[in-house]
Structure 1
Amino acid sequence: MKISFKVLAVGALMLAATGCDDFLDINTNPNALTAATPDAILAQALAATAANYNGGINNGNNYNTYSSFATGYWGKSGGVSGFGEERTYNYSNSYNATLFTATYDNLNDYNIIQRQAGTYPNHAAIARIMKAYNFLLLVDQWGDIPYSQALQGAAETTPAYDKAADIYADLLVQLTGAIADINTAAANNTALTVGAAEDIVFAGNMTKWKQFANSLKLRILMRESQTPDASASVKTQLAALQTATDGFITADVDVQPNYAQSTGQQNPFYNRYGATAAGTASGDRAFIIPTNYIINQYKDNSDPRLSQLYGQGTKLIGGVATPGYYGTDLGEANPPAVTGNNIGSRFLLNGGLLKGPTAPTVIMLLSEQLFLKAEAETRGLFTGGEAAAKQDYLDGIKASFMQFYRPANSNLRTATGVNNGTIATATTATPGVTQYNTYITANATNPKVNYDLATVNGALGKQEIIIYQKYLAENTVASTEAWDDFRRTGLPKFPVSLEAATPGRLPKRLIYPLSEISTNAANVPAGVDQYTKIFWDVVD
């Protein structure tokens, strides 16, 4: 695995603070390693993580685009060719290969920061947390990966592969260590300055970083919670985590490097699937339409989020062009186009997904964390029982409405990193809350919405409706987590078109890139294909 060290020229590194052009550009400059300081690297590293997660650097691959196809949110429109691997689910060793290397490049940034912990302890703690975040993304899509010998540059160009379960265990150690590092830095009065411009997530509020670390630990522990080998250890760690001193996130975790409606500075997802800085339709805007499955989930439950996420298309019915929400079946060979008589729905410009060119990029949803808590409570992994589970479940739905209805320029982070828009402070004046109330009232007798109607072990059990509502909340914004949940739980049971190459059989992972096979063949695990399960995939 030959990964270059990647940093920006100093003049561009301070983009988040200065608003310089091209702040998402990434240049290879290995000679600048000793000169670049953590305060000059952090903003760029965080912006790159956001782009890799949702949007892609220079419209490259990203985790949510891949997962949106895999987990039944997206299909291709009839107005474009290609997307063969997305439609047939036959993955090659070139599919998302650049995402593998881009993530390791980003990890190198954080590694550079962490090396300078002596003089930048809180920058290093943030880097330690973000390394855990990125390594988790890699493990959940590829399984065993280079870990203990990775990020050593020329000192180790053919690193060994660590077992995915072992990496999981160490990520928990690293997150616990990062929290301790933050506490030590505060005690020694060497904390990152509150309001620090280079922290484009929490503006130097280290309590918020500790809450994020705890929420990542919850994600990790729940991901592996159904594996027999981990069950006892997971229960012990979850019990301790529930009473963690700093708690969990209280709002969506956003990356906001001062996105602007200028070339090279727009929100990466909006830039790719919405509009250019000049206001014309982006190149990929006409390529993607939602699946009929996801449309019908909102439609069948009288869910106001449907009209907030998608614009209407048209369909010839009895010779009459009839407006409505029209999608495609996952894997369908001849889906609706975006021109002509049969027009599929598209992401609504300035709606819940394409909020605008200056909207922040979410890297963890509050709704995800609340649904994780609800699942842990209903399964007895957290205390509190069904009363606590129901409240977290309802708050998870409310958080989703608040996220999808939140305006583009509504920044949750204040100058001191304090989160606005929390569940505790939400009122009917908060965007999305009125629509949430309407949704809950309209579904009083619907077992897919009303928590009390789901039985503990029935066809619509507690875990099932929690995962179902979580799936609706993570649509496109956090598709990666929905794809992980589907492989972990088998839920929800979205349909796959019979036109797919392997009907009804969805892949379990991505395949190791050709670059790894070419340069590190002795260490790449043998006998792995797209149907080889990640260690936590034990349900089906």
Structure 2
Amino acid sequence: MKALFRVLLAAALTSTATGCENFLDINKNPNTATSVTPDALLANALVTTAAIYTGGISAGSNYNTYASFAAGYWGKSGTVSGFSQERTYTYSTTYYQALWNNTYDNLNDYNLIQQQGATTYPNHAAIARIMKVYDFLLLVDEYGDIPYTSALKGLGNTTPTYDKAADIYKDLVVQLKGAVADINAAPASAPVVGNEDVVFGGGATGMLRWKRFANSLRLRILLRESSTNDAALNSYVATEMAALQTAADGFIDRDVAVQPTYTANTNQQNPFYDRYGFAAGATRAQSEYSYILPTNYIIRQYESNSDNRITQLYRVGQINIPGTTTAKAGYAGTDLGEAVPPQFDPTDGATVGSRFLQGGTFLRSATAPTILMLLSEHLFSKSEAEARNLITNGDAKQDYLDGIKASFVTTYRDGNTVPTTLAASASAPGTTQYAAYLTANAANGLVDWDAATTTVPEGTAASTAPLTTPRAVSKTDKILYQKYLAENTIASVEAWDDFRRTGQPKFKPALTANPIPKRLFYPQTEVSTNQANIPAGVNQNTRIFWDVVD
């Protein structure tokens, strides 16, 4: 298996990593390494994870780029051909196959850190153990059964067998618990994690935050497992949730972000900005900037609910006035599956689509941090668990409101600042807009926790005219709806997973006869090198074990 026997060391291996040039240079030849210690590997492994996750690196190799199309956030603009698999939902074994290869390469880095540091660098090893869970979870959620117990063996096993996805999920929880125990058991004489921790900054405070991150990952995993009809699995989830809610260190209290001190230099910029914004020193946007438009569905959710977050996400475009050759200012998107946005009259050169706002949330700056987990995601997950009585010692309403607030703070946050807590953000940009959002949506069940209905046409016709008959909105409906808005483009893969788990929200399906896929095909690289071990009969409509709703 090609990706699994590569033992790639993710750069800067010739000396201990100190400073952003080493942290960001992920292209050095690993064969030149003369010594390798976990502290020299950690920062670059984390930076690589951020690039794989967020939509940087290159086409066909990033989780959020793939999921932004699949989850209904992005559509194809009229300025480029291609994107046929995104538009028609007809996947192939080469579609996003680099996700598999890149993630396993990154897992090899963390595995090496864990092995090398088990006795001499226990804190570094514990961080690597947590990040292995993060990576394996990404793989399972997009592919189902994968090589796990026999993976990462190098040349010792180039054709590993596949483990059941449900079994891997349970072991991921074991690994997270073990990582927290490893941190607690690390002797005082153990090497201190320093600035190579480009997520939490190292030191005792950093290690506490790593334990909290591990607990929040446990919640993500358990919630994903929680909606099946498997009695034994439901009993397991209940037991694990009860243990989790009393975890000594609690959960994350800020966005989890990678910040190696990105700089506006070649190969050192924020990876999403570098791909969809501006190359270092460039004055014109990258070509891929013009390839993407928001969907009309996601635009409609902001506009229909008086949600000013849209002003931070997309530039104002121009929309054709029906029956005329003129246009008016407005947010202009596309529909999933359309080859050319239908509202764009090719005879009207004034019509402009609403691409990412330069300097806005998605393209904040070349030096902005990269998110690995949103605080808003965690708070909405916790609220859902509480609303469903999976967690019994929390406040579902408060966590829901804090989730919305956290999203506003993230949306309006200043350029390259590392995320902070909600308490410290009491007067931060976004808090005023959050309060206005709640006020504007009193009695709207998509926003107001206490309202049971809404007249907003979410998931129905393109019109924003209110529904004549209010429709019911449950607590979990509104939680998942707000979570979907918070994860737009920043954490699209989590929204995509939630959609498959719950069927929420009801974004407009692609304009195609093909059903929305359930997963990715196993990549062609795996078909070519490990065919005998690939599970039989798997295609893009094969469900992950937790996908049971539709």
- Which whole-Å CA distance do the structure 2 matches of 1:31 and 1:353 have between them? 36
1:14 CA displacement: 5.7
Task: Name the CA shift for 1:190/1:136 in 2 (closer, same or farther; >3 Å).
Answer: farther
1:2 CA displacement: 1.9
Q: Is the 8 A contact 1:375 1:389 kept in 2?
A: yes
Letter in 1 for 2:89: Y
Structure 1, 274-283 or 83-92: larger mean CA deviation: 274-283
Corresponding residue of 2:464: none
- Which whole-Å CA distance do the structure 1 matches of 2:417 and 2:263 have between them? 14
1:258 CA displacement: 1.3
1:133 CA displacement: 0.2
Task: Name the CA shift for 1:381/1:155 in 2 (closer, same or farther; >3 Å).
Answer: same
Is 1:193 the counterpart of 2:192 in the alignment? Answer: yes
Corresponding residue of 1:153: 154
Corresponding residue of 2:135: 134
- TM-score norm. by structure 1 comes to 0.93
SS, match of residue 417 in structure 2:
coil
1:119-268 equivalences under 5 Å are: 119-185=120-186, 188-193=187-192, 196-204=194-202, 205-229=206-230, 230-268=233-271
Corresponding residue of 2:409: 402
1:61 CA displacement: 1.6
- Which whole-Å CA distance do the structure 2 matches of 1:151 and 1:120 have between them? 20
- Which whole-Å CA distance do the structure 2 matches of 1:41 and 1:454 have between them? 51
Letter in 1 for 2:162: Y
Task: Name the CA shift for 1:13/1:380 in 2 (closer, same or farther; >3 Å).
Answer: farther
Q: Is the 8 A contact 2:14 2:36 kept in 1?
A: no
1:5 CA displacement: 1.1
Q: Is the 8 A contact 1:393 1:466 kept in 2?
A: yes
- Which whole-Å CA distance do the structure 2 matches of 1:442 and 1:129 have between them? 41
- Which whole-Å CA distance do the structure 1 matches of 2:191 and 2:337 have between them? 49
1:66 CA displacement: 0.2
1:454 CA displacement: 2.8
1:448-463 equivalences under 5 Å are: 448-454=446-452, 459-463=472-476
2:9 to 7, 16, 28: 7
Q: Is the 8 A contact 1:54 1:269 kept in 2?
A: yes
Query: How many equivalent pairs are there?
Result: 519
| CA distances 1:381-408 after superposition (whole Å, capped 9, x unpaired) | 11147xx111000000000000011112
Task: Name the CA shift for 1:14/1:68 in 2 (closer, same or farther; >3 Å).
Answer: farther
1:267-346 equivalences under 5 Å are: 267-278=270-281, 279-317=283-321, 318-335=324-341, 340-346=349-355
1:21 CA displacement: 7.3
1:340 CA displacement: 2.8
Q: Is the 8 A contact 2:10 2:45 kept in 1?
A: no
Unaligned runs of 5+ in 2: 454-470
Corresponding residue of 1:493: 506
- Which whole-Å CA distance do the structure 2 matches of 1:327 and 1:438 have between them? 25
Letter in 2 for 1:283: S
- Which whole-Å CA distance do the structure 2 matches of 1:474 and 1:369 have between them? 11
- Which whole-Å CA distance do the structure 2 matches of 1:135 and 1:314 have between them? 43
SS, match of residue 145 in structure 1:
coil
Is 1:411 the counterpart of 2:418 in the alignment? Answer: yes
| CA distances 1:265-318 after superposition (whole Å, capped 9, x unpaired) | 110000111112113211211000100000000000000101111101112313
- Which whole-Å CA distance do the structure 1 matches of 2:398 and 2:436 have between them? 17
| Runs of 4+, deviation exceeding 6 Å | 336-339
- Which whole-Å CA distance do the structure 2 matches of 1:160 and 1:463 have between them? 38
Corresponding residue of 1:87: 87
Letter in 2 for 1:250: D
Q: Is the 8 A contact 2:409 2:429 kept in 1?
A: yes
1:475 CA displacement: 0.2
SS, match of residue 322 in structure 1:
strand
Letter in 1 for 2:436: T
Q: Is the 8 A contact 2:72 2:298 kept in 1?
A: yes
1:190 CA displacement: 3.6
- Which whole-Å CA distance do the structure 2 matches of 1:13 and 1:48 have between them? 18
- Which whole-Å CA distance do the structure 1 matches of 2:329 and 2:135 have between them? 42
Unaligned runs of 5+ in 1: 413-420
Structure 1, 231-240 or 51-60: larger mean CA deviation: 51-60
- Which whole-Å CA distance do the structure 2 matches of 1:106 and 1:191 have between them? 25
Letter in 2 for 1:193: V
Q: Is the 8 A contact 2:13 2:30 kept in 1?
A: no
Corresponding residue of 2:56: 56
1:192 CA displacement: 4.7
Task: Name the CA shift for 1:21/1:495 in 2 (closer, same or farther; >3 Å).
Answer: same
Corresponding residue of 2:386: 377
Corresponding residue of 2:465: none
Q: Is the 8 A contact 2:12 2:28 kept in 1?
A: no
- Which whole-Å CA distance do the structure 1 matches of 2:39 and 2:502 have between them? 41
- Which whole-Å CA distance do the structure 1 matches of 2:10 and 2:396 have between them? 45
Q: Is the 8 A contact 1:13 1:43 kept in 2?
A: no
Task: Name the CA shift for 1:228/1:28 in 2 (closer, same or farther; >3 Å).
Answer: farther
Q: Is the 8 A contact 1:10 1:36 kept in 2?
A: no
Q: Is the 8 A contact 2:23 2:44 kept in 1?
A: no
SS, match of residue 331 in structure 1:
coil
1:28 CA displacement: 5.5
SS, match of residue 521 in structure 1:
helix
Letter in 1 for 2:36: A
Q: Is the 8 A contact 1:142 1:512 kept in 2?
A: yes
| CA distances 1:158-206 after superposition (whole Å, capped 9, x unpaired) | 0000000000000000000000000000xx2145526x11110011110
1:522-533 equivalences under 5 Å are: 522-533=532-543
- TM-score norm. by structure 2 comes to 0.91
Structure 1, 332-341 or 232-241: larger mean CA deviation: 332-341
Q: Is the 8 A contact 2:257 2:369 kept in 1?
A: yes
Structure 1, 467-476 or 3-12: larger mean CA deviation: 3-12
| CA distances 1:454-503 after superposition (whole Å, capped 9, x unpaired) | 37xx83111011000000000000000000000000000111243x251x
1:344 CA displacement: 1.1
1:511 to 521, 543, 546: 521
Task: Name the CA shift for 1:50/1:13 in 2 (closer, same or farther; >3 Å).
Answer: farther
Q: Is the 8 A contact 2:13 2:35 kept in 1?
A: no
Corresponding residue of 2:431: 433
1:321 CA displacement: 2.4
Q: Is the 8 A contact 2:144 2:164 kept in 1?
A: yes
- Which whole-Å CA distance do the structure 1 matches of 2:430 and 2:147 have between them? 43
- Which whole-Å CA distance do the structure 1 matches of 2:502 and 2:416 have between them? 36
- Percent identity reads 60
Q: Is the 8 A contact 2:198 2:260 kept in 1?
A: yes
1:24 CA displacement: 4.2
